[in-house]
Amino acid sequence: MSFPLAYSALRWDNPKLEQTLVQLREAGWDGWEARQSLDWLGSARRVRQICDAVGIQVAAICGPNVTLDVTHPTHEINKRRIEFASDLEVPTFMTKGPGRLDRETTDLDLDRMATVYDDLAAYGEPLGVTVTFHPHTGHVVDSADEWKRFMAKLQQCRLCLDMSHAVHWGYDPIQAVYDYRDRISYVHLHDYKDDGNVELGEGLMCDYPAFLKALEDIGYSDWITACPGPTERSDEAKMQINRAYLKSIGY
């Protein structure tokens, strides 16, 4: 099985979009994950025209971290991003939870966050957009136990499985694939070495072939997105390194 492979625009600093996407396509990527502001991206029509001209797809639209309150302005910003994804015919919207609180996370905090995510998911459904929760270290959900407790509270929102944060929490990412086989609708790949993110294959923080094989085993066939490290290399070089690694393990 082959997955559609995307590259995150996480490290792009005001790129010349068409030129950067040409480089991405030439490096062998199928798509990209958009994180830039709508002011910078422009209209869905503009982004679609550029992508069509280059021959590349948008895998997902990302939004700012949610809060614990559906009345917070950020909640409306995320709804505008969901509408943008719908206009662009992108089926996936991803966002992280709030940053870690200055106290221990409670079940009430998890309940409130689940309400926010499920409200976004309900908003996205009639627009053809699946909302996904991205678990992340240093946030309200910040351990394997809190992750499991939170996932049990979600009714509609789906999961962006980022294997790196599972590793940091001591949770086998392959086990996470099987534990959440019915919840995963988007996947992130990261690598890590010497207290910092690096390009795929430079840290080998997990057995990537086994992780991807587990995704095949559960029948996952949606986007897998590589997230680059914050190195001094050029964007183009990082695109090539990450793609070359995935090719080296058969993807």
Which pTM does this prediction carry? Answer: 0.96
Handedness of CA 200, 204, 210, 211 (dihedral sign): negative
Cβ neighbours for 179, distance < 8 A, ≥ 6 positions apart: 148
Tokens 């009714």 map to which residue?
155
Cβ neighbours for 105, distance < 8 A, ≥ 6 positions apart: 140, 141, 142, 146
**Residue 14: pLDDT above 80?**
no
pLDDT at residue 1 in the model? 61
- pLDDT category at 232 given cuts 50, 70, 90 is confident
Domains of the chain are 5-248 (3.20.20.150)
Q: What is the pLDDT of residues 151-206, one digit of tens each?
A: 999 999 999 999 999 999 999 999 999 999 999 999 999 999 988 899 999 998 99
What amino acid occupies position 214? Answer: A
